[in-house]
Amino acid sequence: MPDSPALPARVVGAAPDIAASAPATVLAELSKPGKPISRALVGVFFEDISYSADGGLYAELIQNRSFEYSSADHLGWHAFTSWELVKRGGGRGAVAIDRALPLHPNNPHYAVVRAEEPGEGVGLLNTGWDGIPVRAGEIYDVSFFARQCFMGEMWGPDSDPAGRPMPVITRLEGPDGRLLGEARFEIAGADWHRIEGEIVAVATEEAARFVLLLGKQGGLALDEISLFPRKTFRGRKNGLRADLAQTIADLKPGFVRFPGGCVAHGNGLGNLYRWQDTVGPVEQRKGQPNLWGYHQSVGLGYFEYFQFCEDIGALPLPVVAAGVCCQNSAHTPGRCQHGIPLAEMPAYVQEVLDLIEWANGPADSRWGAVRAAAGHPEPFGLKYLGVGNEDKITPGFKERFRMIFEALREKHPEIVVIGTSGPFAHGEDYDLGWAYATELGVPMIDEHYYVPPQWFWDNLGRYDAYDRAKAKVYLGEYAAHEPDRRNTLRSALAEAACLTSLERNGDAVAFASYAPLLARRSHTRWAPDLVYFDNTRVYPTLNYEVQRLFGQNRGDLFLETGVSGLGDAGEKLAASTVHDLASGDAVLKIVNGGASSRPLRIRLAGLPASSRSAALVVFAGADPDACNQDGQAPAVRPETSTVPISEDFDFLLPANSLVIFRLPLPR
């Protein structure tokens, strides 16, 4: 056998914590035919939880821009929440919320501002979500809808409104009132019309505020008051926050599931997420309460989700309700699932079919025309559709799911329908969900589980025995939960071990996505999450690093990989190898969940003579409790290098580690 190459001192060398004197062996069969697996195996699941959309990924900086907040969103909220009436320099005036002449029936409320004495300006102030972040030199697009309110008691009954345009100033200000930039407009006419301009910030401020001031005596009705950074992700109008979107893009996700989660089937039938209410002009979309305790403007709607998927090269995987609401609705956990009345189900089924037409239909079809009007005449190429989310498998659910599934199978056999098996890895709904999917011939089923880190190690063989003749698996929501729900290195490595088992079983498991994806700091409703953020910073967790490393080192074929010579049955060691046909590389991943470093003998059977070096990534830390959930810099960072390899060599696997060898194979 060739001599073992010398590797970097940080990887090899004497170590007092070696768990066993005899090395374990990791064998990767590089020359044998690989088993086809899904290249899109590792993806992301986006749910609007913990302000992930409004106040998060959606780049809008004005909170409650259309005056549609209510106590149904959050106790104590109302249509004027997040706004203040401001009166500058002796100005006198008032504000009211009206709905007599709305901009659109889906957007019924608007504000009416009356300047009785303008002084230095009477108007509105908004501080966004915990302040509005602005950066010196950058451009911010401001827009709003307005119409003049003509008040005879001010101007007299014979006054000519056309001759009295209303001057308006929009400003960005610091918390102390200092001017950061402004734009000026003149509003004329009694009909709603859109006003737009730009503000260039002259200074950086993390907690700015937006002010709109009337400059003359008179009144304006105002709605859909909006402020966007010009620098959205890919420069998209009505776009996404650039740093958050890039953080997701860096995962190289194979797919994006949206919009939920529990958001999809909602709190009661009136709160089902209806995709058609989220497309078209934003001022015509129909917002609604978010069951996580705030409001969904749906400015980030189906068009933006699909566009984002296209921008980052990910498959879109929308999820629609299965004709029932969440069984945990109405503060009655487990017992409040209600179904759309059967007489109304044909119309709901048509909604689902319309979604396919909207996504894939020609630009001159009814719904394809809506997509084309938004700027995307070409079809999006939808292939997968989830129906249901963690639903209780009741007779009512079954009846409605069957109606949707059979219509899709008849009208769109090209669409892969994904069913549901409840929220747990076992139990009644899991068993009933799988049995019903098998009865109907559903091609894929969604499994969910949030479990302790040790569970993943104990269940690395979970999918080995799955019947390949039955539905494929989409592991739609999973995460390792510590008792205190922190994002630890231990939990991240447990998830890495799980991912090696999913690669090994990539013929049975098509997709997998950690959940939840995003959470706004100080507004978090669920922990742990993959990425935390505030107004100006993004805090990827250690769990994120594992997902990123697997997403950036994916493959098309699983190459047979085995581990032997373990010291005891409880030793935490897992490995997998995939062949990336695009690059020609083989990628070997090894996870050590133990507190001690571990000597390995790595055998690369069939390694070509030309391959004598590999790119190496080491993600390791001494403390399995290491955590950066609270906004610190990552406690552990991947380190990269190039190392010599051979068909048979020794390697000291660090404690608490994921290591990745990337080595070229002949094309």
Residue 21 is predicted with a pLDDT of 52
Same domain, 546 and 605: no
Same domain, 540 and 569: no
Same domain, 241 and 304: yes
The ranges of the chain with pLDDT < 50 are 1-20, 152-162
Q: Which helix (H) or strand (E) holds 411?
A: helix 395-411
- Pairing between β-strand 561-564 and β-strand 24-29 as defined by DSSP bridges: antiparallel
Same domain, 495 and 566: no
- Name the domain boundary from 229, 248, 281: 229
Same domain, 140 and 239: no
- Pairing between β-strand 121-126 and β-strand 83-88 as defined by DSSP bridges: antiparallel
Scan for tokens 């698996």, then name that residue.
473
Decide if 19 is inside a domain. Answer: no
**What is the rounded distance in angstroms from the CA atom of residue 358 to the CA atom of residue 303?**
10
- Name the domain boundary from 229, 247, 276: 229
Alpha helix positions (H), 462-568 = 489-504, 542-551
Residue 386 is predicted with a pLDDT of 98
Residue 609 is predicted with a pLDDT of 87
Same domain, 514 and 526: yes
Decide if 590 is inside a domain. Answer: yes
Same domain, 312 and 432: yes
Same domain, 120 and 140: yes
Decide if 277 is inside a domain. Answer: yes
Scan for tokens 């009705």, then name that residue.
221
Nearest to 244 by CA among 538, 47, 523: 538
> What pTM, to 2 d.p., does this model score?
0.95
Phi, psi of 223, rounded to the nearest 5 degrees: -155, 160
Residue 634 is predicted with a pLDDT of 77
Residue 631 is predicted with a pLDDT of 67
Bridge partners (DSSP) of residue 578 are: 558, 587
Our count of domains for the chain comes to 3
Q: Which helix (H) or strand (E) holds 169?
A: strand 166-173
- Pairing between β-strand 218-229 and β-strand 139-149 as defined by DSSP bridges: antiparallel
Three-state SS string across 546-575, please? HHHHHHCCCCCEEECEEEECCCCCCCCEEE
- Pairing between β-strand 472-480 and β-strand 179-187 as defined by DSSP bridges: unpaired
**What is the rounded distance in angstroms from the CA atom of residue 126 to the CA atom of residue 413?**
49
Handedness of CA 553, 556, 557, 558 (dihedral sign): positive
**CATH code, domain with 87:** 2.60.120.260
Same domain, 208 and 236: no
Structural domain range at position 224: 83-229
Strand order in the sheet with 613-620: 35-36, 557-559, 573-580, 585-592, 657-664, 613-620, 639-644
Give residues with Cβ within 8 angstroms of 314, minimum separation 6: 40, 43, 44, 253, 254, 255, 256, 308
**CATH code, domain with 373:** 3.20.20.80
Residue 370 is predicted with a pLDDT of 98
Decide if 501 is inside a domain. Answer: yes
Same domain, 314 and 222: no
**What is the rounded distance in angstroms from the CA atom of residue 9 to the CA atom of residue 347?**
67
Decide if 75 is inside a domain. Answer: no
Residue 516 identity: P
Same domain, 113 and 48: no
**CATH code, domain with 625:** 2.60.40.1180
Catalytic annotation, pick one of 283, 390, 545, 571: 390
Same domain, 518 and 407: yes
Decide if 397 is inside a domain. Answer: yes
Is 390 marked active-site?
A: yes
- Name the domain boundary from 506, 528, 551: 551
Tokens found for residue 175: 């918390």
Residue 151 is predicted with a pLDDT of 53
